[in-house]
Structure 1
């Protein structure tokens, strides 16, 4: 696919600032940070985006797409709903050695950063989180229907439980600056799936 000069510049700006926004947040990222990261002038930045918020939204979309693409790629290679559900958790384990965007979960980071101050960013991150919840809920429904999961499983509640554990893992890793802390929480999530969802 061929890109126009404008499209190439926009793509460059997004890719160059994605990790920056994910680590420093919207408020913590200045136009100077953006020009340094892209090696472009502020005029070039604003010639391609209306404002900093538009760059931040595009950077969030890029980060989230990267996260989801890695997970979806692994799920597509699973042969059962059982394997898929376990992969939802294990894909984030350090033993997988997968290259996610730097800075941690973009949804958690953006929701924390946006709060009540940047409504468009908050809505975008909330939508990503709810879509993820829907995906896992659908997976649980299918696995339950196929006889791979226990009949007592509540798909919506179980999806929320799994996501809550994963996101807490990201939170405690961010707080401690220790990637292994994520693994401890992911192990708890895996244990929950094995004991409360899967049929022995």
Structure 2
């Protein structure tokens, strides 16, 4: 990797944490300069604007979380275990989130809903990426005979992802992982009672 590419990557990586913690509006160019140690001219040598940095920073943060999801899912054999693995990634969201500041998709979606359409679109893409991963797992579970044949993969994925994001929000707001932990247990029970194929 060339020096210019390394510098650009450094700016993205360091900015991603700031944006995810402080939000787009709460992060200034001076914050990025202070965090990266790169002067204003050096920043603008690689990026045309704060917007461009924010979009690239979101992509980086979201990819880091998606990789954590993939790693957790790959460690599980059953479809139900693979769905619960998404929750396990955020099991200690208060003290040890998969990315600094919590869920990049959630943070970006809340802040950018009406204020920054491009960032909102990136958050929407992140949502669909996670939902598609879940739907694929559910369909595989149906094919393997683990889940009921008439299970609606779209509905279950939407429910699972909504429960996950709600659990993250409540745990972060309360400063207590009990919400995510309770819902890991709740979702596990739901899968056993409503989704698993009975012999």
TM-score (norm 2): 0.91
1:1-200 alignment, distance < 5 Å: 3-94=1-92, 100-199=98-197
Task: State the SS of the aligned residue for 2:24.
Answer: helix
Structure 2, gaps ≥5 residues long? none
Contact 1:15/1:62 (8 A) holds in 2: yes
Between the aligned partners of 1:30 and 1:175, the Cα distance in structure 2 is 24
Task: State the SS of the aligned residue for 1:94.
Answer: coil
Deviation at 1:73, TM superposition (A): 1.1
Of the structure 1 ranges 169-178 and 138-147, higher mean CA displacement relative to structure 2 is found in 169-178
Q: 1:104-130: per-residue Cα shift (whole Å, max 9, x none)? A: 110010011111111111001101101
**Aligned CA distance change for structure 1 residues 169 and 78 (closer, same or farther; 3 Å):** same
Deviation at 1:99, TM superposition (A): 5.6
Between the aligned partners of 1:47 and 1:180, the Cα distance in structure 2 is 45
Contact 1:111/1:126 (8 A) holds in 2: yes
Count, aligned residues: 197
Contact 1:111/1:122 (8 A) holds in 2: yes
Contact 1:165/1:186 (8 A) holds in 2: no
**Aligned CA distance change for structure 1 residues 82 and 178 (closer, same or farther; 3 Å):** closer
Aligned CA RMSD, in angstroms, stands at: 1.8
Contact 1:89/1:166 (8 A) holds in 2: yes
Q: 1:14-36: per-residue Cα shift (whole Å, max 9, x none)? A: 11111110011101101111111
Of the structure 1 ranges 161-170 and 73-82, higher mean CA displacement relative to structure 2 is found in 73-82
Structure 1, gaps ≥5 residues long? none
Between the aligned partners of 1:98 and 1:74, the Cα distance in structure 2 is 15
Contact 1:168/1:185 (8 A) holds in 2: no
Contact 1:86/1:193 (8 A) holds in 2: no
Deviation at 1:98, TM superposition (A): 6.6
